[in-house]
Amino acid sequence: MRAECVTVSRHLHTACMNLEVSLPQHSAPSGQEVSALEKQLRDKLREAMQLQGCWDKEKVELNSRISELMDVVEQLRGQNSEKEEGLAALKTSLDRMVRPGRGRRGGGRGRLSLDLNA
């Protein structure tokens, strides 16, 4: 997009430079020649302004989409963090339940089922 804008700007600049160079070479440009060149310049300018408007609109839309996606990323990071904390808590709880049950036969199972139901 930006490259197109630069290209159009260069074309406009070249057209203006050509106009400056060609005017002194002609003895007296006719009104029709000047009018045609002015119309061409106005058309190019209108085209450049329309392109700029489209690019500005697209830029706003893309920035809005970026903001939305950044919000989603933050939300997902928060959910991921909560799940990791919950998983760590479950692992810790499971480790506590399994350790005391190793020394006794069957004693740990009852305790495990009570803690999981709570």
Q: Which helix (H) or strand (E) holds 100?
A: helix 31-103
Residue 9 lies in a domain: yes
pLDDT tens digit sequence for 62-96? 999 999 999 999 999 999 999 999 999 999 999 99
pLDDT exceeds 80 at position 11: yes
Cβ atoms of residues 71 and 77 within 8 Å: no
Give the whole-angstrom CA distance, residue 93 versus residue 112: 9
Residue 86 confidence (pLDDT): 96
DSSP string, 30-88: -HHHHHHHHHHHHHHHHHHHHHHHHHHHHHHHHHHHHHHHHHHHHHHHHHHHHHHHHHH
- So what's the pLDDT on residue 56? 96
Domain of residue 12, residue span: 2-16+40-117
Q: Residue 24 has what pLDDT? A: 58
Q: How many domains does the chain have?
A: 1
Do the domain assignments include residue 113? yes
Please check whether residue 61 lies inside any domain of the structure.
yes
Nearest C-alpha neighbor of 96 from the set 84, 112, 113: 112
- The answer, yes or no, to whether residue 118 has pLDDT greater than 50, is no
Domain-embedded: residue 23: no
Chain segment 37-63, per-residue pLDDT in tens: 899 999 999 999 999 999 999 999 999
d(CA 38, CA 33): 9
pLDDT class for 22, splitting at 50, 70, 90?
A: low
Structural domain contains residue 56:
yes
Residue 103 placed within a domain = yes
101 within a domain of the structure (yes/no): yes
